[in-house]
A and B are shown apart, each in its own frame.
Chain A
Amino acid sequence: MEDKASSPEDDALRDKIRTLLANGLETEVWPRAETSEMVNQIVNRLQTEAGDDLKKTLKIGGFTDHTITADDMEQPCETCMYYLVHRKFCELPELDVPVEPEWSCRLWRI
Chain B
Amino acid sequence: MANLLWLQGGACSGNTMSFLNAEEPSACDLVTDFGINVLWQPSLGLELGDDVKAILEKCISGEIKLDIFVFEGTVIDAPNGTGEWNRFCGRPMKEWVKELSEASDFVVAIGDCATWGGIPANAPNPTDSKGLQFLKRAKGGALGEGFTAKSGLPVINIPGCPAHPDWVTQILVAVATGRADDLTLDEFQRPKTFFSSFTQTGCTRNMHFAYKVSTTAFGQRKGCLFYDLGCRGPMTHSPCNRILWNRQSSKTRAGMPCLGCTEPEFPFFDLAPGTVFKTQTVMGVPKDMPTGVDKKGYVKLTAAAKGAAPAWAEEDIFVV
**Interface code A51-81, partner B: CB below 8 Å = 1, 0 otherwise?**
0000000000000000000110101001101
**Do residues A110 and B307 form an inter-chain contact, with CB atoms below 8 A?**
no
The chain B residue with its CB closest to the CB of A33 is B284
Which among B216, B274, B287, B302 is the interface contact of A110 at CB below 8 angstroms? B302
Which one of B25-33, B102-110, B157-165, B308-316 is at the interface?
B308-316
**Interface code A36-48, partner B: CB below 8 Å = 1, 0 otherwise?**
1101100000000
**Do residues A79 and B311 form an inter-chain contact, with CB atoms below 8 A?**
no
Q: Does B174 contact A (CB under 8 A)?
A: no
- Please, which residues of chain B bring their CB within 8 A of the CB of A36? 274-275, 278-281, 287
The chain B residue with its CB closest to the CB of A37 is B274
**Do residues A79 and B281 form an inter-chain contact, with CB atoms below 8 A?**
no
- Please, which residues of chain A bring their CB within 8 A of the CB of B228? 81-82, 109
Q: How far is the CB of B305 from chain A (nearest CB, A)?
A: 10
**Do residues B311 and A109 form an inter-chain contact, with CB atoms below 8 A?**
no
Given A36-B274, A70-B283, A110-B299, are A93 and B311 neighbors across the interface (CB < 8 Å)? no
Please report the C-alpha to C-alpha distance between residue A45 and residue B303 in the assembled complex, in whole angstroms. 28
Prevailing SS type, chain A contact patch: loop
**Do residues B278 and A73 form an inter-chain contact, with CB atoms below 8 A?**
no
Q: How far is the CB of B96 from chain A (nearest CB, A)?
A: 43
Please report the C-alpha to C-alpha distance between residue A3 and residue B315 in the assembled complex, in whole angstroms. 10
Which among A70, A73, A82 is the interface contact of B216 at CB below 8 angstroms? A82
- Please, which residues of chain A bring their CB within 8 A of the CB of B278? 36, 40
Q: Does B217 contact A (CB under 8 A)?
A: yes
- Please, which residues of chain A bring their CB within 8 A of the CB of B298? 110
The chain B residue with its CB closest to the CB of A87 is B314
Please report the C-alpha to C-alpha distance between residue A79 and residue B305 in the assembled complex, in whole angstroms. 9
**Do residues B212 and A78 form an inter-chain contact, with CB atoms below 8 A?**
no
Which among B279, B285, B306 is the interface contact of A78 at CB below 8 angstroms? B306
Q: How far is the CB of B116 from chain A (nearest CB, A)?
A: 25
**Interface code A3-17, partner B: CB below 8 Å = 1, 0 otherwise?**
100000000000000
Given A36-B275, A108-B284, are A78 and B307 neighbors across the interface (CB < 8 Å)? yes
The chain A residue with its CB closest to the CB of B269 is A36
Given A3-B311, A36-B275, A86-B311, are A79 and B306 neighbors across the interface (CB < 8 Å)? yes
New A-B contacts (16) at CB < 8 Å, excluding given A40-B278, A70-B284, A93-B216: A1-B311, A3-B311, A33-B284, A36-B274, A36-B278, A40-B274, A81-B302, A81-B306, A83-B306, A85-B309, A91-B214, A91-B216, A109-B281, A109-B284, A110-B302, A110-B303
Binding site for A on B (CB under 8 A): 212-214, 216-217, 227-228, 274-275, 278-285, 287, 298-299, 302-303, 306-307, 309, 311-312, 314-315
